[in-house]
Amino acid sequence: MKDLQQVSVIGLGLLGGSIALAVSRALSGVRTVGYTHRPSTRSRARKLRVANEVIGDIKAAVRGADIVIVATPISTFEDIFSRIAGALEEGCIVTDVGSTKRMAVRWAGGALPGTVHYVGSHPIAGSEQRGVEFARDDLFDNALCILTTDKNSNSRAVRKLRRFWSALGCSVKIMSPAEHDRIFANVSHVPHVTAAALINATDSEQLRFAGKGFIDTSRIASGPANIWADVLLTNPSNSVRGIDRVIRELSKIRQAIRSADKKRIEKLLETARAKRSQLIKHKMKKKELLP
């Protein structure tokens, strides 16, 4: 990418750190600057050589950047956009990697100057782990990355950001922030809530008998509570509707068990089995899942 000299990453957790590492791997010659407000994270990030430069001054961090990527919890976006606004170069692309997009667009519109271009990003990568020590330069290999755009989006900026994520290994898809938030409530936010509810419903003493099934089913509930509270609170109506759908489906199976209706139970379980089997096939084909 000849039109890219510097990428600045705000927030050096698992995602931010991995972005900086992936840029170094995939886009040699591009300078990476990382910002984090915690001195301890800065020294760990420096030790791990996560970015060319790791600094504690957010304005200095974005100066000269062609792309600024905000990789902090969603609840900090509004404040961060305001703080960097005055230091951004003309034509700079600002994006974030938050798991919900409608609020980010709104905050960007309110805080960023008209001379820069905001486009939302959501790379579907990460894990329940947190912290720069889990950052990996291959986190985005074969990952899906959603860009969210609307009628105000600058199409050159969108194209450039699309090339950027593709260079990092992502397959990129574009949709509106509203569509994004609707879909990801169902495939990500509600599953998180469901995993947490399942654990909360189970007695600690009994949990000792849990097998691999329970361990996997509940894995995502090990994600950081503050990050996920932000996600749910910036996508509340879709999340509530999704939870209601899960409750309805649970009630259907519950009713079939109570009526000892074997055919109906088998049908409900088989529908889920077949649907998941389709999903796995699709993901294998797209190489988003390896055999």
Q: Scan residues 225-284 and list those touching a copy of itself (CB under 8 A).
A: 225-226, 228-229, 232-233, 236, 239-240, 242-254, 257-258, 260, 262, 265-273, 275-280, 282-283
Q: In the range 134-163, which residues lie near a copy of itself by CB under 8 A?
A: 144, 146
Please choose, out of 30-38, 76-84, 158-166, 205-213, the segment that lies near a copy of itself by the rule CB under 8 A: 205-213
Does 167 help bind a copy of itself (rule: CB under 8 A)? no
Q: Tokens 């096939």 correspond to what residue?
A: 281
* Rounded CA separation 61/88 (Å): 10
Contacting residue, 52, 154, 171, 222, with a copy of itself by CB under 8 A:
222
**Residue closer to a copy of itself, measured from CB, 6 or 238:** 238
Rg (CA), the chain: 21
**Residue closer to a copy of itself, measured from CB, 154 or 217:** 217
Task: Supply the minimum distance, in Å, between the C-beta of residue 238 and a copy of itself.
Answer: 10
* Cβ neighbours, 10 Å, residue 171: 15
Task: Supply the minimum distance, in Å, between the C-beta of residue 54 and a copy of itself.
Answer: 28
Task: Supply the minimum distance, in Å, between the C-beta of residue 262 and a copy of itself.
Answer: 5
**Residue closer to a copy of itself, measured from CB, 9 or 193:** 193
* Rounded CA separation 151/236 (Å): 24
Q: What is the DSSP string of 199-255?
A: HHTS-HHHHTT--HHHHHHTGGGGS-HHHHHHHHHTSHHHHHHHHHHHHHHHHHHHH
**Residue closer to a copy of itself, measured from CB, 46 or 252:** 252
Burial (CB < 10 A; 0-12, 13-18, 19+), residue 58, is middle
Contacting residue, 19, 93, 125, 172, with a copy of itself by CB under 8 A:
125
DSSP class of residue 115 equals: T
* Rounded CA separation 286/291 (Å): 12
Expressed in percent and rounded to 5, the helix, strand and coil fractions of the chain are 55, 15, 35
**Residue closer to a copy of itself, measured from CB, 33 or 74:** 74
**Contact map string, positions 69 to 88, toward a copy of itself, x by CB under 8 A:** --------------------
